[in-house]
């Protein structure tokens, strides 16, 4: 029995300070997944996961993060495999905030998150970043229905 499958590897990072989270507004970009979300992207061949998250944050925000901490994983099925997102958080950063073609960057107060049009699964995903007992966000798909599982 072959136990290999096609895997697409990506990273996502929650850059934060005491009261704010750095969010990316992906509205108006012709994107399938719209709303405020966290910066991230694909891991390049041969690149470490930490190198990838540092590069993606720098490309999308202009900030250089240091000491990113792996805090969980998000995954969902794709044709003949799965899409895996390694979830990092970083509170140490330097540089000047800029936006990119991926979306406009904005510091959002945690207390005001409900006022923003967030990506559909962001509230559940945020729990994986912030709750010690959670480390996995997983979708299962049955027909047209996608179901979130947090573990």
pTM of the model: 0.94
Q: What stretches of 91-143 adopt beta strand conformation (E)? A: 92-95, 104-109, 136-142
- 3-class SS string, 26-70: CCCCCCCCCCEECCEEECCCCCCHHHHHHHHHHHHHCEEEECCEE
> Which residues form the domain of 32?
6-120
Q: In percent, how much of the chain has pLDDT > 90?
A: 87
What is the tens place of the pLDDT at every residue in 86-121?
999 999 999 999 998 888 999 999 999 999 999 989
Q: Which residues contact 96 (CB under 8 A, 6 or more apart)?
A: 62, 63
- Quick one: pLDDT at residue 26? 82
The span from the CA of 53 to the CA of 13, in Å, is: 7
Q: Per the domain annotation, does 146 fall within a domain?
A: no
Longest CA span, the chain:
51
Please, are residues 89 and 69 in contact by the beta-carbon 8 Å criterion? yes
Q: Per the domain annotation, does 69 fall within a domain?
A: yes
User: When comparing pLDDT for 7 and 33, which is higher?
Assistant: 7
Q: Which residues contact 132 (CB under 8 A, 6 or more apart)?
A: none
The total of structural domains in the chain comes to 1
Q: Per the domain annotation, does 147 fall within a domain?
A: no
pLDDT-based confidence at 19, cuts 50/70/90? very high
Q: Per the domain annotation, does 148 fall within a domain?
A: no
Dihedral sign computed on CA atoms, order 105, 111, 116, 118: positive
CATH code of the domain containing 50: 3.90.79.10
């Amino acid at each position: 029995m072959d136990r290999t499958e096609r895997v697409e590897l990506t990273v996502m990072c929650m850059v934060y300070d005491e009261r704010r989270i750095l969010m990316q507004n992906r509205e108006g970009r012709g994107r399938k997944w719209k709303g405020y979300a966290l910066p991230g992207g694909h891991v390049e061949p041969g690149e470490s996961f930490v190198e990838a998250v540092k590069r993606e944050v720098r490309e999308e925000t202009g900030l250089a993060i240091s000491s990113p901490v792996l805090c969980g994983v998000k995954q969902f099925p794709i044709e003949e495999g799965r899409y895996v997102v390694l979830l990092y958080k970083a509170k140490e950063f330097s540089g000047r905030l800029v936006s990119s073609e991926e979306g406009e960057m904005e510091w959002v107060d945690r207390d005001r998150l409900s006022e923003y049009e967030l990506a559909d699964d962001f509230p559940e995903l945020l729990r994986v970043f912030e709750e010690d007992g959670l480390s996995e966000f997983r979708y299962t798909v049955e027909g047209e229905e996608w179901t979130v599982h947090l573990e």
